[in-house]
Amino acid sequence: MSKSRLEAFTDAVIAIVMTILVLELHEPTAGSFAALFEEWHRLVIYVVSFLMLAIYWNNHHHMFQAAKTINGKVLWANSLFILSLSVFPFVTSWMGDFFSDLAPQLSFGIAIMMADVMFFATAYNLKKATDDNETVSVFFNKYYKSWVSIGTNVIAILLGVLIRPELIFILNAVMLVLWVVPERRIERVFQQQR
């Protein structure tokens, strides 16, 4: 089964989700900076969500770059990954309106966790669908990334429930910054620990 249509389809969905996130921003009610700054937390949430989606796309791109064949299980894991991403505009917008409430923060945290779990499931099934040993080992080395992500999601949800709801967004956003900027250094640290 060829992988190119799955790649193209996933690209299209991520591109659309990224782009319609902006439709959830409320237009400022006046032409002043004050009116824009009333939206500042929504703008921050927008940029963070956009970067998260860009990272998912980057990782998806790298992962399938290495793959040669896919099967039905990969298709389904990938579809559920896409489903998780598709609710981003909904949970992002709700969280923007009720930033200090647990329900929207928890929905946001669960959506991210689902996306990370399904990304792992896609990677896992992709590895099983591939015979090539070298590619398999590269995938395996990359699994720690999924574990760290899912671990962070769980901790964020726990802290959000136990301490303050806002921590769910903040922890996931901070993790994002750590993830983007010094990706190579983190990779080395983790590979040394193994």
d(CA 163, CA 143): 30
Burial zone of 30 (CB within 10 Å; 0-12 exposed, 13-18 middle, 19+ buried): exposed
d(CA 58, CA 114): 18
d(CA 35, CA 75): 45
Q: How many residues bind its own copies (CB under 8 A)?
A: 59
Helix-then-strand count for the chain, H and E: 9, 0
Hey, which residues between 6 and 35 contact its own copies (CB under 8 A)?
6-9, 11-23, 25, 27-28, 30-33, 35
Any contact of residue 177 with its own copies (CB under 8 A)? no
Hey, which residues between 48 and 87 contact its own copies (CB under 8 A)?
50-51, 54, 57-58, 61, 65, 72, 75-76, 79, 82-83, 86-87
Contacting positions for its own copies (CB under 8 A): 1-2, 5-9, 11-23, 25, 27-28, 30-33, 35-36, 47, 50-51, 54, 57-58, 61, 65, 72, 75-76, 79, 82-83, 86-87, 89-90, 93-94, 97-98, 100-104, 107, 180, 183
